[in-house]
Amino acid sequence: MSQLHGTVWWSELMTRDVGAAKAYYERVCGWHFDEMPMDEGIYHLATAHGRPVAGVMDMTGFDDMEDVPPHWFTYIAVDDLDAALEEATEAGGQVMRPPFDVPEAGRIAIVADASGAALGLMVPATEWDPPETGSGSLENVPV
């Protein structure tokens, strides 16, 4: 397995009040936002220190999400998505949405873990070099 496998790769906030969320994270975290048009609407890309760190999306009007409260959604990097999906189901999880490609982001599937919690598994389109184990240094982590 690569050092990328098993790391939290991306998080996105699904909310119905994008303006309030952006104002909050701008003030609390110092994030800046860029808009990216998508088929589902505008994706608000949060950056910190010149690096993308998260996304914010308006979930208003999404099918089957009328009663879902605002929430953060996490994506975990894997080396091989098909193998990870097989492991996930064998471990008691469930594939909620089969693999799909997101240009410049990677190949993604949505699963529920054995406790029922939803998350994304993905093979990222890009990589970064994590710090060496035990190095005590974060100089290679993009910030």
pTM of the model: 0.79
In-domain check, residue 39: no
**Considering the domain boundaries, does residue 19 fall inside one?**
no
Query: Are the CB atoms for 5 and 79 separated by under 8 Å?
Result: yes
pLDDT per residue over 83-121, tens digit each? Answer: 999 999 999 999 999 999 988 889 999 999 999 999 999
* Residue 99 within any structural domain of the chain: yes
Domain count, the chain: 1
Would 63 be classed as within a structural domain? no
Residue 116 domain flag:
yes
> What tokens does 122 get?
């993905």
CATH number at 98 reads: 3.10.180.10
The answer to the question of residue 103 being in a domain is yes
Q: Does residue 81 sit within a domain?
A: yes
Q: Domain range holding 90?
A: 1-8+74-133
Which two tokens mark 88? Answer: 């996930």
Most confident stretch, 24-28, 38-42, 59-63:
24-28
